Structure 1
């Protein structure tokens, strides 16, 4: 018996699609309540719908949620050790805002709430950026494009 010739299937090119309109970012933190208070002070909105137990949820905007998860719970959920953001860079979380003044307002509020400046202030042309570290040392940037 002869093997039939394989058929070639041509898949038409499709426009790129967004996978989801909601993003959930889980960050391990020492104290979810204190971290929630920090992010409230810089303008993120507490989200009671996803807050409970060892998790405080913050709504950044536009369907982006940050889950502030107690380190022990994060470790159990992932089965992995928690990186020390004070010693190593795990990720930089960047938030785009509508103006340079808003960049300054958020970065200044982060410093006043106990965060630390990180990366200085960039003005290389169309991007205006300021970075900070939150209470646990996670690296954030606030940017304005234009």
Structure 2
């Protein structure tokens, strides 16, 4: 079995969060979804579980943060090119997300950042690994 990651996110409104994630390209896996949570699939190995806050609370004894005012994680997704980075960010904004800062272009890497309606932060990016290695090699030791 391939190694997979399941990111669990507490959300205020499962239906609203599901619609947002579908708008940016995630697919809802009906087999593992119900009114209390949506299993959202990004790829064969990357999944995001959108859990109602009361359900999420059953998995931890810790205080659940408000991601609008506190940072618990920054989640990044890689893309093949700038157009794809821009496309997911624009889809997020159109679906009710918020852009966190201006696009960043470092030559070898281009990134954007947005929050979902619950305040969870995502950083789509594209990177030319060979260009980064060449830039690092050109720097004095």
Tell me, yes or no, whether TM beats 0.5: yes
Structure 1 unmatched runs, 5+ = 1-19
Q: How far apart, CA to CA, are the structure 2 residues paired with 1:123 and 1:73?
A: 39
Q: How far apart, CA to CA, are the structure 2 residues paired with 1:92 and 1:45?
A: 21
CA contact under 8 A between 2:14 and 2:35: conserved in structure 1?
A: no
The answer for the alignment partner of 2:131 in structure 1 is: none
2:55 to 73, 76, 88: 73
The answer for the alignment partner of 1:56 in structure 2 is: 38
Please say if 1:124 is aligned against 2:124: no
Q: How far apart, CA to CA, are the structure 2 residues paired with 1:93 and 1:119?
A: 15
The answer for the alignment partner of 2:137 in structure 1 is: none
Would you identify which runs of 4 or more consecutive aligned residues in structure 1 move more than 3 Å? Answer: none
Q: How far apart, CA to CA, are the structure 1 residues paired with 2:49 and 2:91?
A: 20
How many residue pairs match? The answer is 128
Structure 2 unmatched runs, 5+ = 129-141
The answer for the alignment partner of 1:33 in structure 2 is: 15
Q: How far apart, CA to CA, are the structure 2 residues paired with 1:23 and 1:106?
A: 20
Which structure's CA Rg is the greater one? 1
TM-score after normalising by structure 1? 0.83
Across the aligned residues of Structure 1 and Structure 2, the Cα RMSD in angstroms comes to 1.4
The answer for the alignment partner of 2:67 in structure 1 is: 85
Which secondary structure state, in structure 1, belongs to the residue aligned with residue 58 of structure 2?
helix
